[in-house]
Amino acid sequence: MRGLTKEYVLRRGGLFFLTILISMTILFIIPRLAPGDPVASMVSRMTAQGGFVENSDQLIAAWRAKFGLDKPLIVQYLSYLKNMVTLNFGYSLAYFPAPVHSMVRDALPWTIGLLSVATLISFITGNIIGAFMAWRKTPGVLRALLPFTLTFTSIPPFMLSILLLYIFSFGLNWLPFSGGYDLSIMPALSIPFIKSIISHSILPALSIVVCSMGSWALGMRGMMITTAGEDYVTLAEAKGLSSARIFFRYEMRNAILPQLTALALSLGSLAGGSVIIEYIFSYPGIGYLMYTAVTNNDYTLLQGIMFMLTTSVSLGVLIIDLLYPVIDPRISYQGK
């Protein structure tokens, strides 16, 4: 790969693993600083549902021993690191005997399917809007209309979600208000099931796209204004190249590089889901699963989700950093 050196790749790889180690250490410490005990909370829920749990103290002690919560913190930490390295996330504390990996596996496709499409649509739409806002030869009518697309940028996504729910679900009754699909339809690779998935994902996806494309547009507009005054753009204009070619090949191509870095971070964090939006729509993704893990003090489930999130974000940053010399030939990591 042009522009890269072995030393740089090794250094970035070492930083990748160091980032994951530090993140996992922080994740181990923070939940244990929070008030409450996960096993006691589980027994309390059992008591609330069944009315009485016999020998609850012995049950709590046995469950604490089962999950290793009765051991010293340093022993728990070393066992935790071993489990993370071997991808053995154990069992959920709140939903025992459900394995963490199976819960994450079932929720991950919903989040990736929803957020990847929404993020890419928002990225493409926002960057096109921002580029045309900064281009000097944009038609006047279009230049006057484009700023209105940024209206919803200042609205938090969860507020827009509630507004969309009120209008399209409870008001017009056009779209479903919760879940990932209609429970009356058997999950299968069939047209009715696919249509149900799409109809349930429209409102959550629309909340994300409408609220986030403005930030992409503003970032792209700023970069386009910067590149418009560069020498290579002036040279291209002096050569008599067409306006469209200068716009796409010289201005947009160079202005979009920082946006690609942000996109890599966004795509890397897709595994974490959008907690508030998935909670509002009861969407069965990673964000909703994370919410239940936090509310139930489910250490193992939260650690499994956050390990996957941290790894995916760090990997996204690593990949885009290594690909930069390919995207922009001016960048080189070779020593002089």
**How do residues 317-336 score in pLDDT, each as one tens digit?**
787 777 766 666 566 555 55
Angle at 234 between CA 138 and CA 123, to 5 degrees: 45
Question: What is the tens place of the pLDDT at every residue in 304-316?
Answer: 888 877 887 788 7
What distance in Å separates the CA atoms of residue 109 and residue 134, rounded to the nearest whole number? 37
pLDDT at residue number 40: 62
112-288: what fold? MetI-like fold (1.10.3720)
pLDDT band at residue 1 under the 50/70/90 scheme: very low
pLDDT 10s digits, 106-157: 888 888 778 778 888 888 888 888 888 777 777 767 667 777 777 777 777 7
188 CB-near residues (< 8 Å, 6+ apart): none
Indicate the burial class of 273 (C-beta count within 10 angstroms; 0-12, 13-18, 19 or more). buried
Question: Which tens digit of pLDDT belongs to each residue from 190-219?
Answer: 787 788 888 888 888 888 888 778 778 877
Q: Which residues have C-beta within 8 Å of that of residue 177, sequence separation ≥ 6?
A: 165, 169, 170, 203, 281
pLDDT (average), residues 279-285: 82
Instruction: Examine the pLDDT at 56 and tell me if it is beyond 60.
Output: no
Q: Where are the domains of the chain?
A: 1-94+296-336, 112-288
> Hey, how many other C-beta atoms are within 10 angstroms of the C-beta on 220?
25
224: Cα within 13 Å, side-chain hemisphere = 24
What's the CA gap between 333 and 5, in Å, rounded?
Answer: 6
- Residue 136, classed as helix, strand or coil, is coil
pTM, two decimals, is: 0.66
Q: How many CA within 13 A on the CB side of residue 297?
A: 16
Q: Which of 157, 179, 154 is nearest to 169 (CA)?
A: 179
Mean pLDDT of 91-101: 78
pLDDT tens-place string over residues 18-27: 888 888 888 7
Each residue's pLDDT tens digit, 10-50:
888 888 888 888 888 887 887 777 666 666 666 666 555 55
**pLDDT exceeds 80 at position 68:** no
| CA 62 – CA 60 distance, rounded (Å) | 5
**Residue-wise pLDDT tens digits, 227-269:** 777 777 777 777 777 777 777 777 777 777 777 777 766 765 5
